[in-house]
Structure 1
Amino acid sequence: MTSTLPLILGVEPVPRTQWGPVRARNRNCAVVYATANGELDLAGSVNLTWRDKILGRYLTRYEVSVGDHRRTGRLVSSPLTCSDGSHRFDATLDVGFRVHDPLEIVRRNVTDALPVVYGLLVPQLRAEARKFGIEEAALAEEHLNRLLARGASLPEGITIYHCTVVIEPDQAARDHIATLLAARRQATIARGIHEAQVAAARSEQAVLDVQQEGALGREAQRRAALGNMSVDLEGVLKQHLIMHPEDTATVAELMVRTEADRTSQSDLQAQRWDQMFRFLVEKDLIRSADLPGLGRAIPAGLDALGPRQLAMSTDQAAPAQPAPQSPAPVLWGGRAGQHENPSGGAPDAATRQLPVYLLIDTSAAAQPFVDGLNATLRDLLSALNADLAVAEGIRLSVLAFSERSQVLRPLSAAAQSPSPAIPAASGPARYGAAFDGLADLLSSDVDALKASGHRVQRPIALFLSTTGPSDEAAAWGGARDRLAGHRYAPTVIACCLGGTAPGAARRIADRPELAFEGMPGVPVADQVAGFALLLRNTVLGLGRGLRSGRPDLVVECPAGLLSAAAAHH
């Protein structure tokens, strides 16, 4: 495309001797006259007076091209970019336009039409082209031509009556598309190869399945044919003989040898039994009349011996052997002295296990207590690790409850294990969730300990709350009653801190002396310290009691807490 397209073809002054406008000699041109004060008139559109003709009204005469113009060219300096911003379209623009207002051309001094026309079209084309990917050149071309078909009227006095664009990817984009197509072809080929390999593998597997099915069928037929035969040595030889009749002579010889060996062994055993029982009768250790009761026939010649009855008084009789014991039941509290070893010595402390459950409130109200409770658990486990002999019989489990119950630490040996982290406090405090969660664990935990050969003490549960229950009294009370009715019902110690309603601890604990409350007016840290001391002394005391054979539950009220029995007496 040419670099310029002038629309004002000529500019010349108007002579004084010229009486009036001179029309254009070319029908594709229009003549515009300019007056001294800048007014513009189109030749032939204004009727001049004789005064204007004589004095000369116009100063300058302009010839403006009003014919059709057509230009075709590539957009090189302002290329069309696709949606990825990296690749470009090769665009060839074919545009046709004409001047519809020569006065505006002169007024705006439009000396070159191309910047005006392309200045309107190119920004629109670039904006619309960015909506399409580099692989959508055809769609972009169709979209842009649909928009350009409307034409346009420019304020400079130019009308665009025709505009089309041809769009193709540029060289870099064509290389990119070619690479993508090659990759897709390779993927299609690979997919076809994979499908063929899968089909071949399935066909091969189907053949193997048929072969295995046939082998299993033949094996089933052999088992059915041999089903009535014995599986002793004689039966095995017979089965071999059926499948391999050519070995008849060898099998017959083996069967004869087997029968001879069996007879010889039976004679030797009978001889040894005769010698043993003869010795017992001769030494007055047994009577011949006692032999049938022992499931043995009287050996030949023993009935002729003079039987001498053994003089055995009642106090000399051998003590009866104890019947086999079933797995030891749960020891429901009390002193361990009732379950001493048969030898009369101290009980075997290594076989006694005491499950201890901590039920910790993690509702939203417990947020001020969380850090202190984490420290409490760490201190308890540190104390148990420092005295492994005391910790030997303690099994510890930690449950958190709010809206529901969550096991933070399953029941396991207290020593040599990390402290569980208490989760972030949130939600309401449902006491029923704590009791139901503990009841769900008791049977499996205690039965597992019993199955391992341990004697299990009655479990201990330490219940800690920092606020009142969110569930109705009837609901959580029912859950507490179900826990109390469990076959492995624990002894419950209750400690209610913070804003827990007075009296709640007494309703939860097994006995009033096992119920504790936070002392009114005492800071949170001191209340938690009191609970930490209560927990530590109670668990370590139980461990020492198991070690000595007297696992009595002794609970003392530390500073920072208040005995619920004394507070509401």
Structure 2
Amino acid sequence: MRVSKQLSWGQRSKYVRRYEVDMGDHHRTAKLQSTPLPSADQAHCFEATIDVSFRVTDPEEIVRRNVQDGLSLVYRHLAALFRPVARHFAIEDAAGLETHLNQRCGGAMKLDEGVTIFRCNVSIAPDAAAAGHVRERTKLQRELELGQQRFDVEQAAQQHRLLLDAENQRARLAREATEQSALAGTPMDLQGLLNRHLQTHPGDTTYVMDMLLKVKEAEGRQRQLYDERSVDLFRFLTDRGIIQPADVEVLRGQALGRIGLTGPTAQQPPAIPPGPAPDGVPTITSLPAPTSAPPGPGGPVRPSADSTAWDEPLPPPELDRARPAAPGAAEIPPVTGDSVASTADPEPPAQAAPNSVIPVYVVLDESAAGADFLGELNDGLEELRTVLAAEPAVAASVRLSVIGFAEDARLCGARDRLRARSSASYSAAFEELLSRVPRDVDELKGEGQRVHRPLVFFVVGSGPQGGEPWADVYRRLVDRATQRYAPNIVAAGLGGAEPELISRIATSPDIAFTTLPGVTPRTGAQRFAAFLTASVLGFGRMVLSGSPSLAMETPPGFQRTNTSMTFLGKGTLP
């Protein structure tokens, strides 16, 4: 609308002012930028493009309301109409909002200002930020769908493979069952196993024959080594007067039985079942021999000559030389030089005692210094338990206890494994033995058992904690003048354990061992574990045979702190 100042002469007599109003059709396209349409989350907005057509239908109202710009009037009206509606739509639903607005604007809209909108077409799109968000989410959704489809394909393929594997396994088990049924009569010894292998792998004949030849050669070497050791031991015992002429007939019968001949005494059972010793495993030989004197941290603590009398406390050390030997027992000389000699005829072998038992304690260092070789000791303990389980009679004659110690001492069960802890407390280990050994022996005696003197294998990889007062509890453990059940202690040092320390712990220098130069702690642990298994098995067999006196050799890879051979005399409680 515009105001015209020029009136005709006829109009001037009636009107003062003339108004001209454009009543034609107007078509405009514009974006609602100054008043954007908010989405439902109030964080994003829709971009609206409006294509609108309108005309003036009430010019008097236009003049009355002084409307100068009809387009701005139309845009304000449409923005006020669209904004409340847009708040009900998510930013992703631009199409839904567009459809809804176009439906609202489908008919003519007559405004109070005298303008009628007869056509309105709205285009809705999310703003730039919302558009990027929608694109990213759409992309991720598509990737998720593709991933799910790929997973479904792979899962189906995996199920197919599992079905094929199961079918193949059933077929393999059926074939193996048929083979087992066909080979049911084949013995399970070495020869039988090789025959089975050749039946299924005939092309390995040359390899199997070569293996058999090597096995025979190894058996021959083992027999030769065993015979050489037996001869050396026989000479040693003969030179020292331990074997007397009366014993030769028994040994002759055993030797004839070994080579398949018979004689007057060939069928008598030996103290230890004869057989080749495994290569690298020490031999434990039955000997009715005396007991050596154990040294303590503060000086020697000598046992009584009557090592079999456990009913009463042993006499003080100074009475050793004055006390007469028990009837039938060997006189025990003091330990001097590099050997132990007997000055009397040996005691005749005792009869087998099925209810005899020897307590054996394996005390192992669990301090941080032993972390490198604890795995080998764990394997050795498992092997020892397996060997004892395979020989129930021997296991019944050995009461085995495993004690691990670091800052404290603990009794290890069959399922327990050694584990590296803090520094080593020797006092804790000896306190545990001092508490446990008398209690165990009393319990065994209460069961009616004939109990042999306990034996301790003490294996360490380092010295005690600095300044630790362990000597007093050690003396109370091994002093036979005050401790009726004082054990024999075999000490072995691995790694950083000093030879002087090992000699002080062992109840005789001849059963104190340290690794040879160049032998690593892990190798030493492996070899001592094999020695431990053979020793415990030999002790058990000795108890069964009724002749528990043993000669202990040096473990492979070790050296004695004192080079003489040690005899651990028997001592039982009738």
Per the normalisation by structure 1, the TM-score is 0.40
Per the normalisation by structure 2, the TM-score is 0.39
The structure that has the greater radius of gyration is 1
